[in-house]
Amino acid sequence: MYPKDTAYDVAATTPAPSGLVLPSYKRDESSHPALDTEEYNSTHLRAPQQPLQVLPHYLTEVTGPLLGHDRVGETDHDLTAQHAGEPLGERIIVSGRVLDSDGKPVPNTLVEIWQANSAGRYEHSGDRHPAPLDPNFSGTGRCLTDSDGFYKFITIKPGAYPWRNHDNAWRPAHIHLSLFGQAFTQRLITQMYFPGDPLFYQDPIFNSVRDPKARERMISRFDLDTTVPEWALSYKFDIVLRGREATPFEDDEEDDD
């Protein structure tokens, strides 16, 4: 699992001291957000200030841990069924496929999500937004893609929330997604948004992806065909790992907003 904004080339990879050959890729700033974005204030503190140091990867980093079916619980994909009661808010279905640059499905990939509740609050000690917590909603889930690269979650549509980045700043409703390859060193993170959100124009995180077409790839699409009558609306969100149609991914340190 590596974003392929430029051609992935095994010959261009650097052998680790153990003799392992580790894939790498070049970061495409037009589709991926910059590490330090002027309008996104907290990136000024998070972005590296010194040259990056290459750390050696040995067998443990490359091959472990195992992220298989035994790591996923029966209700992990259904965020509305993880507590004694049902959570408040609009029930939705979020599904799609994880694909490579040539449209080939990526099977057995661990997909994790986390999000705010319907009132726009995370179940996290650092979230001080004066909105109610929902005792029946934790806001986290995970599943494995099937042989066709398909994943599916049942959840509650998250609410917008203020975040003090600038005057009257509000984050558009969004869901965080994390994808793992075969190890923790192969992790990609993105955010899924909802169509027609009026807060897009003033959100520096969404707009840190400079390419308008790339921003569109972060917006899910409503899908009536997979909407369940009288139960839940459905949104489709395909995740393309590499190539010109790649989904924009963020730096691991930016995943808490």
pLDDT the model gives residue 251: 59
235 included as an active-site residue:
no
Q: Is the pLDDT of residue 21 over 60?
A: no
Greatest CA separation for the chain:
58
- Tell me which of 8, 40, 122, 235 is the catalytic residue: 122
25 included as an active-site residue:
no
Between CA 187 and CA 74 the distance in angstroms is 23
pLDDT the model gives residue 15: 47
- Say what the pTM is: 0.82
Who contacts 257 (Cβ-Cβ below 8 Å, separation ≥6)?
42, 163, 171, 205
pLDDT the model gives residue 85: 96
- Tell me which of 161, 193, 235, 242 is the catalytic residue: 161
Per-residue pLDDT tens digits for 162-171: 999 999 999 9
Question: 162: helix, coil or strand?
Answer: strand
pLDDT the model gives residue 9: 31
Q: Is the pLDDT of residue 180 over 90?
A: no
171 included as an active-site residue:
yes
Among 35-39, 133-137, 190-194, 213-217, the least confident range = 35-39
- Tell me which of 32, 77, 142, 176 is the catalytic residue: 176
- Tell me which of 97, 174, 217, 242 is the catalytic residue: 174
DSSP summary character for residue 105: B
- Tell me which of 171, 193, 217, 242 is the catalytic residue: 171
Sign of CA dihedral 197, 202, 204, 207: positive
Per-residue pLDDT tens digits for 76-99: 999 999 999 999 999 999 999 999
Q: Please name the helix (run of DSSP H) or strand (run of DSSP E) that holds residue 97, with its range, or none.
A: strand 91-99
40 included as an active-site residue:
no
What dotted CATH number matches 22-256? 2.60.130.10
Highest mean pLDDT pick, 136-145, 176-185, 243-252: 136-145
Can you give the residue ranges of every domain in the chain? 22-256
44 included as an active-site residue:
no
Between CA 155 and CA 87 the distance in angstroms is 9
Per-residue pLDDT tens digits for 96-153: 999 987 889 999 899 999 999 999 999 999 998 999 999 999 999 999 999 999 999 9
Residues 136/142/148/149 CA torsion (nearest 10 deg): 120
